[in-house]
Amino acid sequence: MTTAKPAAAPSADTSAVPAADPAADRSGAFWNDADRHLIRYGSAFTREIIESAEGSFVTTAEGRRILDFTSGQMSAILGHSHPRIVETVQRQVASLDHLYSGMLSRPVVDLARRLAGTLPDPLEKALLLTTGAESNEAAVRMAKLVTGKHEIVSFARSWHGMTQAAASATYSAGRKGYGPGAPGNFAIPAPNPYRPDFTHADGSLDWRRQLDFGFDLIDAQSTGSLAACLVEPILSSGGIIEPPPGYFAALRDKCRERGMLLILDEAQTGLCRTGTWYAFERDGVVPDILTLSKTLGAGLPLAAVITSAEIEERAYERGFLFFTTHVADPLVAAVGNTVLDVLTEERLDERARTLGEFLRKGLTEIAERHPVVGDVRGRGLLVGLELVSDRETKQGSDELGARVTERCLALGLHMNIVQLPGMGGVLRIAPPLTATEEELALGLSILDEAIAGG
């Protein structure tokens, strides 16, 4: 027999807090409750209570405004509380928010049709879901069913999500201590021009030899059941690593030779962030399956799997099942349509290119002033700045990265740091596409000061 727990005592005695200091009163109780009741799921929580957010800034309980250089979780491409998104949510939630998963609404069909209109042939069939992990889960499930095989290849610095198939294809973090992943998952080296492992005579990355080597190892390990290759066009959590031009065409050929499908995960790169609607456009390579998430909902939980009519038909004939609670929900689909409206009307692909050039120029100037900056890389408004203790040896410094990140926050700039063995401290910079040059300049100024004091 289970007995109810006794009522919890008040989480903090606030009587000792002076009445003239309500902020301390609120934060003391808040952090006591947070520490007592929240399961910790990653790095330590930022010790700021966020009360509101608008545009490129979040505001703390103490009224301090912090410039958000990560677009929330790399998602809020239209900034926080965009008026068009607010209006859509208010209107849609009052009329049609959620349905039985077998029912359809106009926002869902409209969004599927409009997404197809932004993509090259033959990508025209969409499945609307919630998160990036869920979309990758569905894509892998579809690829396995359609090919009749089960082995999945990904980059060694990848991040595709925390559910089973997505986590099994994730190699940048989170693999130890959870028991076996899905069988048949393999990693190939990430082509990192700054830290090349296979080199030409001049020291530059020999990515063709690296790719050949990677697939030689895959072929040696495979049981003959290679289903798909799941990769990001720009590895974000892996340190803003952008494979060189020509790489994805060669990767596609490797997949074709083995009867594999190519799945591109554009969670962070899709929908104008890199200066084009999709990052894969640079390479002229069309994936068999495309997954979108983060940017599609501009901060709300919306994701998509998009594929060809041929692949969808084959999956359907074989009984494809991905019947979830929030598949094809009308509320977030309506938000997705508004996101497409704003991206199109305000030409945010062009804006991302222009602002990206401004940001890159400012970061390059910072690198010229500070020898601890080893590399500046990325595309559009997805940029990485790698901190090193020695430019010649490229010796990374996780400690320096952590100090700079902490100093940025104290000065009013929220940054995101990647700390992986051998990567050093890589600052991931992804401001909203709606940011102004003045806001970018402010962020660059704070970053410059933080590195100088780091």
Q: Which residues are catalytic?
A: 159, 232, 265, 268, 294, 428
Tell me if 278 sits within 8 A of 270, measured CB to CB. yes
Q: Which residues of 96-106 are buried (b: 16+ CB within 10 A; e: fewer)?
A: beebeeeeebe
Residue 336, exposed/middle/buried by CB under 10 A (0-12, 13-18, 19+)?
buried
Which residue carries 């689909």 as its tokens?
333
Q: List CB contacts of 2: < 8 A, sequence separation 6 or more.
A: none
Stated length of the chain = 454
CB 372 within 8 A of CB 454: yes
How are beta strands 65-68 and 413-414 bridged, if at all? Answer: parallel
Nearest to 195 by CA among 42, 19, 428, 420: 420
Contact 163, 239 (CB under 8 A): no
Q: How far apart are CA 181 and CA 179, in angstroms?
A: 7
Tokens 């903090």: give the residue.
12
Distance separating alpha carbons of residues 263 and 229, to the nearest angstrom: 6
User: Rounded to 5 degrees, what angle do the CA atoms 403, 408, 409 make?
Assistant: 100
Give the Cα separation of 265 and 41 in Å (integer).
23
Detail the DSSP E strand segments found in 148-302.
151-155, 185-188, 226-231, 261-265, 289-292
Closest C-alpha among 354, 319, 390 to residue 141: 319
